[in-house]
Structure 1
Amino acid sequence: MPLLASPFAQLDLIRQPEQQNEPLQAFDAADEYLLNHLAEQQPAEESRVLVLNDSFGALAASLLGKVRVTSSGDSYLGALALEKNLARNGLPFDALRVVPASEPLNGPFDRVLIRVPKTLALLEEQLIRLQGQLAPGAQVVAAAMIKHLPRAAGDLLERYVGPVQASLAVKKARLLIATVEARTPLASPYPTRYRLDKPAIELLNHANVFCREGLDIGTRAFLPHLPQNLGNARVADLGCGNGVLAIASALDNPQARYTLVDESFMAVQSARENWQALLGEREAVIRPGDGLAGQEPQSLDVVLCNPPFHQQQVVGDFLAWRMFQQAREALVVGGALYIVGNRHLGYHSKLARLFRGVEQVAATPKFVILKARK
């Protein structure tokens, strides 16, 4: 893999989760453009720089030791990548601050470097949280590859920060440079809420939750076919989002014990708040994580999963395949993984390579619900 060379450092970086023969590198031209732009500003060593949505740690790792760095994003895998890449390059993790997107920032900041996220609601929430966190003379610069840079990103910067100047394109990347102006603080429109009929519940969704405006159609197809009569089974909701699968299951299975895990900090925050609102003090483990990595082998009886088919802008089934492998490792012999997926993804044949029995529970014209028994 090529090294990231910038005026600040030369780094050997890896993505998370790691794959054999990884076809993609852990940085792109937008990272390089941001670093070169900041170097031209010649920031002082005591400058306080906030990095938002640093996919695999390229920006924060490059700046460590050159300025005072705070890194914030909504990805557990991103935070894990930063930690591993610092270690890989002999850099101290405790020399920077890492703040999950679900937690408040602690400014003021002199520079803010933003990688424009796929979900613009996350960008909007992050810009709202910057209100009152910028030092006099601060500059906010957002970057993206042009094919992933919607016009609305500039509109959000204009609304919450100040006038925006778009840079020239360099290696198919562009910067949006915002000049900070006084703005009347605006209230956040997040979290959002929606109601379900079956079960009759209301769910809260923080800004970066998948389908935060309403239940996604895959989960809608899955809900009527969740396993019943679970007794005191140990159940995991893998990639839990706002927690809807686990909560719906828990309402029907009062003795079952639940673990909810997602790599989005805002999803975990949403799931935790929804669980508390709907199930009170009923015990559950709700945590951010790299899927079921770290889960004790043979410690679960049932896994529920609506697997993702993309990581940021990269589409593929590698995350789903990894989740299936993790589920198999965590399940007891005889335990079962229940999933919903688009028909065209061919999950049945993939699961058959890992599990001793795969059966179709239900199907719609677009989705299939499968049960895979270990």
Structure 2
Amino acid sequence: MSDAQTQLTINDHTLTLLRFPKRANETLQAWSAGDEYIIRHVEELKLSGSQNILILNDHFGALSCWFSQQHNVTMMSDSFIAHRATLKNLQRNQCNKIEFLNGMDTLPERIDLVLMQLPKNNRMLTWQLHRLRTQLPEHCPVVAVNKAREIHSSTLSLFEKYLGETTTSLAWKKHRLVFSRPNAMPVVDVNPVIHWDVEGENITLNNYPNVYSGESLDLGARFMLKHIPQDPELSHIIDLGCGNGVLTIKAGQLNPQAKLTCVDESFMAVGSARQNLENNLGKDRNIECIANNSLDGFKKESADLVLCNPPFHQQQTITDHIAWQMFCDAKHVLNYGGKLLVIGNRHLGYDVKLSRLFGKDQVQTVAKNNKFIILQATK
């Protein structure tokens, strides 16, 4: 891998930055032109002394590493992987320590400047803007960044409504900055939880702002619900990439004897899943909900069934390496004869990947419709 992809140099200062998890032959770099744009903008402000900087949604720690050199940095992100990547990059560059917060933690008391990568979903953005409005002093500047094509007039309307007066920069390397102040009146209240019932099922769900498909059941999960196995021999079921826990709840209803483990890299997903499992299955069930990078650290041959609805992007990048890691990890933790049940869009070709990993004879199609396919791989 060439140094060009790991060395971020601005104003004669260089950081070595890697994505997490670290992969051989990595083709993607660990920062964006948006990170560079924010860094250049703040450097031009020539901030006096050591400022208290809150950084929201740092992807792999480029902003946290850069600003930790001269300022007190708090990095707040809902992503376990972003936390881990940032920590590794801080260590790699011998940076000063920073404070880590997840998406539901309380904001620090003293904040002089907020820098943010805009989150992908508007519910998360609205929740973050609301929290900044209610907890920041009015003079505190907020600088956000995203690809210019992702910053719509509706995005700016959210800033105006929930945070305050808002302007934008010129585009640079296809990115744009958003400048805002926390002075919107009146202060609009935002409930972080959306609550709904799953049609045709005895399941009620609470969804925190950053939960995937948090406003309605996604079509893949709806299809998968009809094909979760019922088997008294199942003693441990893992839902890998659990989201709000809907698949685990169904598996738990069908298999009351089984231990249930929910895993997701979103802290909000894990929080929602924990609440939903307790609400739907009762507090005395054997359940565990973990924020993690796939199944890192899980015991070999410790599960009978892994349910998986893999994501096909990391931050803004479309990629299949997460699905591949999930499949490899699932095979590692499955008992002999254990099964991995995967749902994906038909065009993603998961059958080829699973055949490579488990053997062609061990992979079968459970069900398919015009959009999705459910595959079962047996170890």
TM-score under structure 1 length normalisation: 0.95
Aligned to 1:130: 132
Tell me which residue corresponds to 2:223. 221
1:75 aligned residue: 79
Equivalent of 1:41 in 41, 45, 48:
45
Q: For residue 121 of structure 1, report the CA deviation from its aligned partner.
A: 1.4
Distance (whole Å) between structure 2 residues aligned to residue 107 and residue 270 of structure 1: 26
| Structure 2, gaps ≥5 residues long | none
The equivalent residue for 2:294 is 291
Distance 1:227 1:280 in 2: 21
Q: Is the 8 A contact 1:45 1:68 kept in 2?
A: no
* Corresponding position of 1:347: 350
TM-fit CA distance, 1:334: 1.1
Which sits farther off after the overlay, 97-106 or 51-60? 97-106
**Counterpart mapping for 1:302-341 below 5 A:** 302-341=305-344
* Corresponding residue for residue 146 of structure 1: 148
Q: Is the 8 A contact 1:69 1:97 kept in 2?
A: yes
Whether the aligned pair in 2 keeps the contact of 1:237 and 1:304 (CA below 8 Å) is: yes
Render the CA deviation track for 1:253-294: whole Å, top value 9, x for unaligned.
111001100001111111011112112212211010001111
Q: Distance in 2 between matches of 1:265 and 1:81?
A: 15
Which amino acid in 1 is paired with 2:255? N
Question: CA shift at 1:337, angstroms?
Answer: 0.2
Contact 2:346 2:372 survives alignment (8 Å): yes
Matches within 5 A, 1:54-203: 54-92=58-96, 95-181=97-183, 183-203=185-205
Q: For 1:240 and 1:337, how far apart are their aligned partners in 2?
A: 14
Alignment partner, residue 359 of structure 1:
364
Number of residue pairs aligned between Structure 1 and Structure 2: 372
Q: Residue 252 of structure 1: which of 234, 249, 254 is its match?
A: 254
Q: Is 1:211 the equivalent of 2:205?
A: no
Matched to 2:146, the amino acid is A
Retained in 1: the 8 A contact 2:313–2:319?
A: yes
Contact 1:104 1:129 in 2 (8 A): no
Aligned to 2:374: 369
Q: Percent identity?
A: 41
- Cα pair distance change 1:8/1:226, threshold 3 Å: farther
* CA gap 1:72/1:351 in 2 versus in 1, 3 angstroms: same
**In 1, Cα distance between equivalents of 2:199 and 2:175:** 45
Per-residue CA deviation, residues 227-247 of structure 1 (Å, 9 max, x unaligned), is: 111445111000000000111
Matching residue of 1:6: 10
Q: Is the 8 A contact 1:10 1:62 kept in 2?
A: no
Distance 1:196 1:294 in 2: 33
Give the Cα separation in 2 of the matches to 1:232 and 1:200.
22
SS of residue matched to 1:336: strand
Q: Give the AA of the match of 1:134.
A: L
Conserved 8 A contact 1:338-1:371: yes
The answer (yes or no) to whether the contact 1:7–1:39 under 8 Å persists in 2 is no
The normalised TM-score by structure 2 is 0.94
Counterpart of 1:50 in 2: which secondary structure? Answer: strand
What SS class does the counterpart of residue 137 from structure 1 fall into?
coil
Q: Is the 8 A contact 1:341 1:367 kept in 2?
A: yes
In the TM superposition, what is the alpha-carbon distance from 1:326 to its structure 2 partner?
0.7
In the alignment, residue 116 of structure 1 is paired with which amino acid?
A: L
- What is the CA deviation profile of residues 2-54 of structure 1, one whole-angstrom value per residue up to 9, with x for unaligned ones? 32123594201011222221111111211111111112222233311100010
Shift of 1:306: 0.7
Change in 2 beyond 3 A, CA 1:74/1:366? same
Structure 1 position 209, deviation (Å) = 1.0
What RMSD over aligned residues (CA atoms) do the two structures have, in Å?
Answer: 1.6
Distance across 2 between alignment mates of 1:182 and 1:348: 51
